[in-house]
Structure 1
Amino acid sequence: MESVNASKEMTLGLLQDLPIRIRSSVFYLQVQVFENAPYEMLLGRPFLMLTQAQTYHYSNGDSHIMLLDPNTKETLIIPMMIQV
């Protein structure tokens, strides 16, 4: 994988169909594992496309992400928090 800073790192492997629960919905993700990632989990375009993700930003600084569970068609609205 190539990072934003152009460094390259090999993955330790792939976790296939890893169940990830977000509220009442379970998503089965294909997850690449890295030894020294600066994040716990990075959700990319495949997840955003699968869930038809939409983000909403408000004038008071709040943000929400809306996800669609492709299996149940349930809509999830999740408040986003920025960690400093």
Structure 2
Amino acid sequence: MPTTPGISATSLNDRLSDLSGHGLVVRHIFAGPPMSTWYEATEAGAIVSGLLWTLAETKRSASPPPPGERASTETGGG
């Protein structure tokens, strides 16, 4: 069984079941051989995904620089 780095198969299954229950993804099962299952975002899921990516980008651009790095505020005058 393929694995997904950073999440157990049980946790991934639970999350996908939750998303499916909320109408954000649709589960497709193919009898095979070999049997396979895949998930597809619904229209609502695609909208939510886009919003989450936008929020993540906004936070990333609004976050202060990491320790040891600082934004340049020098004007060159002196």
Place the TM-score, normalised by the shorter chain, in its bin.
under 0.3
Return the structure number with greater strand share.
1
Return the structure number with greater helix share.
2
**How does the TM-score come out when normalised to structure 2?**
0.28
For the pair shown, which has the larger CA radius of gyration, 1 or 2?
A: 2
